[in-house]
Structure 1
Amino acid sequence: MFVFVLIFMVTVLYYINFRRLRKPLYEFSERMPTIGEVPVLGHTHWFIGGPERLLENIRKLAELVDSSGGLSKIWIGPSLYVVSLNPEDVQKILENCLEKDSSYKFLQTWLGNGLFVAPVELWKVHRRVLLPIFHNRVIEDYIEVFGQQGDVLVQRLAEQVGKPEFDVYKYITSCMLDIVFETAMGEKMDVQHNPDTPYLRARNCVMSIINMRLFKAWLQPDALFNLTPYAKMQKENIDLTHKFTDEVVNKKRALFESGGLQKEGRKDLLELLLTRDMKFTNEELREHIDSITIAGNDTTALVVSYALLLLGSHEEEQDRVYEELKGIFGDSERLPTKEDLNKMDYLERVIKETMRLYTVVPIIGRKTQKELQLSNVTLPAGVGCAVAPFVMHRSKRLWGPDADCFNPDRFLPEHSAKRHPCAFIPFSFGARNCIGRHFGMLAMKSILATVLRTYKVTSRTIDRLKIEILLFPVPGHMISIHKRNTAC
């Protein structure tokens, strides 16, 4: 009995001290507008359920915030977040709050201090070093790889011509992995012909476990997670992915130190990192290459897959894309060049409208490091900031009454010029935006152009979505394809 009383007293004293230390946070919270909060639980009940229900709850909560002026607070357990859907406030948050939210720690277990999740002070140093290797001139050297792998994709898709619906994402993600492996590491993996590899199985397993931890509160504390079989499974699969990248890094390092790297011609990103003035350790190289490979593959593959879904259910827009491609290529079956990609104005608008409607990174989390003045509130240091591009991009307040409709011409220059720069942020915004955005856009254009020159796509409307770190359609990216009569 004495032990139970002692435990109770210690718990009460801990809670009192916890509240005392966080008193400024609670005082700030009381001054903030709130929507959908319940006693004790705060907003935690909105974040319970499977991935489909979870996204719908987040969407409803964010839409309530949007309709009430675009600024509110949410409590998830002991963590306070300010939710802002006003472009002016979002710009201030993304420009001034460069520290990632604590929820990214689950990815950090895997990606270490790679650029995507690195603490801000380390990120500042490494971003300066990595920025030149993502220069447009460097990325444009990879256009040939985009075309070659897009051509393989077209050949692989031939097995689905005239057949019932199939999930195109499986084909697109294999194509993107081949592109990313070759451009980031110089490794020709041929994933398109060999999709079931130990590396990919391990990678998918780790992503599944991280997603589970993000949205299941009882698995978030390391002490509890480490008691589950998932902890061992995660470690084994992380070790397997690290082993693969470590072997590539060690091989490239040995070539570099022996003077065996090629002096002329296209260089992969790992080679370029090895030649920078800042000397990265092998572990740092692995962390950056893993971040590029993992963050760059799924996001790009998802946008391409969503674009095919949208064009498959919007015949007029698909015909406009095809006519644009026909005007560029004629009857030639050659691979796209830089000049060709620069002429694909309508296809680029299709890609941007796809990223607006199906923002594959639906939530961005940041944390204030010092006081930040927003439009009508001053945020103290240490507060989480949640930006929801998926909701902002469909906001009728920002995009008009037809915000849910597919209309690529929203991105005509004369329309975009009137829009706040943070009304559309598929690559985030500010200094910590996506370093690979030019790579992604060129790769997406090249793959879509190659597929749409060869096949006509049909699909149904997407009506059910889920969040699994990224945004996925519940039934998959289901399309059917038919060979076009005329090549272009």
Structure 2
Amino acid sequence: MGTQLDSDSSTKTQEYKTAILQIGGLLMGRLTRVWLHNEYIFRKFPIGKQFEKCLEKVHSFADNVIMERKKNWTPGQSDVVEDEVGGKKRLAMLDVLLEAERKGEIDLEGIREEVNTFMFEFQGHDTTAMALVFGLMLLADHPEVQLQERIYEECQTILGDSDTTPTMSDLAEMKYLEAVIKETLRLYPSVPFIAREVTEDFMLGYLNEKIKFVL
């Protein structure tokens, strides 16, 4: 998105990081309290008011990222990012959104929603942590197939005793590690379901009665 959160120590960036972490906790607190599921009631409780403050900081930061990019963006001259694996080239995500806005395919509010989604999900606070936890659990739970030893040998073969950070090319060669990660995510997906709001009645499989919620 044109902003390096890890290298930016500004107050705004730190506030954004803190707000993102707090939002995750607040959402879990709301999820486990049925009486807070109602939007109106939720906004009246302290947890709802704190959520609003965090949301304002997140939206403010996203707006700043968009405006900064917009000032330095020229239509038809989007930045191109080259992938280290395979040499593929792709446009910067925010440039694609700005181009779509120029064509009338999306408005500024839509861009902000996309930016918030990508910045929140790609940081992967909870999803990455859970994937690592389940992966380590599976390695420890199945010593008989020597999964850990095979991964270690693969890493040693590719990296040796080097202390340097693995490149994308190095990671692309780690086929066994990739297979273990994919199997971990298959068994224990970080995001096991996606919510959708139904706007009209429809027949769902064998169900022939009106329902409000399906998992």
TM-score of Structure 1 vs Structure 2, range by shorter chain:
0.7 to 0.9
Match for 1:300 among 105, 128, 132?
A: 128
Match for 1:328 among 144, 149, 158?
A: 158
- What is the aligned partner in structure 1 of residue 85 from structure 2? none
Match for 1:229 among 27, 46, 51?
A: 46
Structure 2 residue runs of 5 or longer lacking an equivalent are 83-90
**Does residue 85 of structure 2 align to residue 274 of structure 1?**
no
**Higher relative contact order, chain-length normalized (CA < 8 Å, sep 6+):** 1
Question: Structure 1 pair 304/186, CA: closer, same or farther in 2 (3 Å)?
Answer: farther
Q: How far apart are the structure 2 equivalents of 1:283 and 1:338?
A: 34
Which residue identity is paired with 1:322? Answer: Y
**Does residue 170 of structure 2 align to residue 346 of structure 1?**
no
**Does residue 202 of structure 2 align to residue 370 of structure 1?**
yes
1:42-84 Cα offsets, whole Å, 9 max, x none, are xxxxxxxxxxxxxxxxxxxxxxxxxxxxxxxxxxxxxxxxxxx
* Structure with the higher strand share, 1 or 2: 1
Q: CA deviation at 1:264?
A: 4.8
Pairing of 1:11-90 with structure 2 (within 5 A): none
Which residue identity is paired with 2:180? Answer: V
Q: How far apart are the structure 2 equivalents of 1:314 and 1:352?
A: 16
TM-score (norm 2): 0.73
**Does residue 110 of structure 2 align to residue 284 of structure 1?**
yes
Match for 2:190 among 357, 360, 366?
A: 360
Which residue identity is paired with 1:385? Answer: V
**Does residue 29 of structure 2 align to residue 248 of structure 1?**
no
Which residue identity is paired with 1:283? Answer: E
1:157-178 Cα offsets, whole Å, 9 max, x none, are xxxxxxxxxxxxxxxxxxxxxx
Question: Structure 1 pair 217/381, CA: closer, same or farther in 2 (3 Å)?
Answer: same
Q: How far apart are the structure 2 equivalents of 1:333 and 1:193?
A: 27
The 8 Å contact of residues 303 and 360 in structure 1, kept in 2 or not, is answered as: yes
1:308-340 Cα offsets, whole Å, 9 max, x none, are 454467663222102112233345556545554
Q: How far apart are the structure 2 equivalents of 1:192 and 1:322?
A: 34
Pairing of 1:126-205 with structure 2 (within 5 A): 185-190=1-6, 197-205=14-22
Question: Structure 1 pair 283/344, CA: closer, same or farther in 2 (3 Å)?
Answer: same
Q: CA deviation at 1:203?
A: 1.5
Single out whichever of 332-341 and 222-231 deviates more from structure 2.
Answer: 332-341
The 8 Å contact of residues 367 and 382 in structure 1, kept in 2 or not, is answered as: no
Which residue identity is paired with 2:42? Answer: F
1:468-487 Cα offsets, whole Å, 9 max, x none, are xxxxxxxxxxxxxxxxxxxx
Q: CA deviation at 1:245?
A: 0.7
Identity over aligned pairs, percent: 30
- What is the aligned partner in structure 1 of residue 87 from structure 2? none
Q: How far apart are the structure 1 equivalents of 2:78 and 2:22?
A: 36
1:356-406 Cα offsets, whole Å, 9 max, x none, are 443323455456651122xxx3344654221xxxxxxxxxxxxxxxxxxxx
What is the alpha-carbon root mean square deviation over aligned residues? 3.3
Match for 2:214 among 385, 401, 412?
A: 385
The 8 Å contact of residues 306 and 358 in structure 1, kept in 2 or not, is answered as: yes
Q: How far apart are the structure 2 equivalents of 1:367 and 1:236?
A: 26
Q: How far apart are the structure 2 equivalents of 1:251 and 1:293?
A: 16
3-state SS in 2 of match to 1:218: helix
TM-score (norm 1): 0.35
Q: CA deviation at 1:294?
A: 1.7
**Does residue 147 of structure 2 align to residue 317 of structure 1?**
yes
* Structure with the higher helix share, 1 or 2: 2
- What is the aligned partner in structure 2 of residue 215 from structure 1? 32
Q: CA deviation at 1:305?
A: 4.3
Q: How far apart are the structure 1 equivalents of 2:168 and 2:22?
A: 37
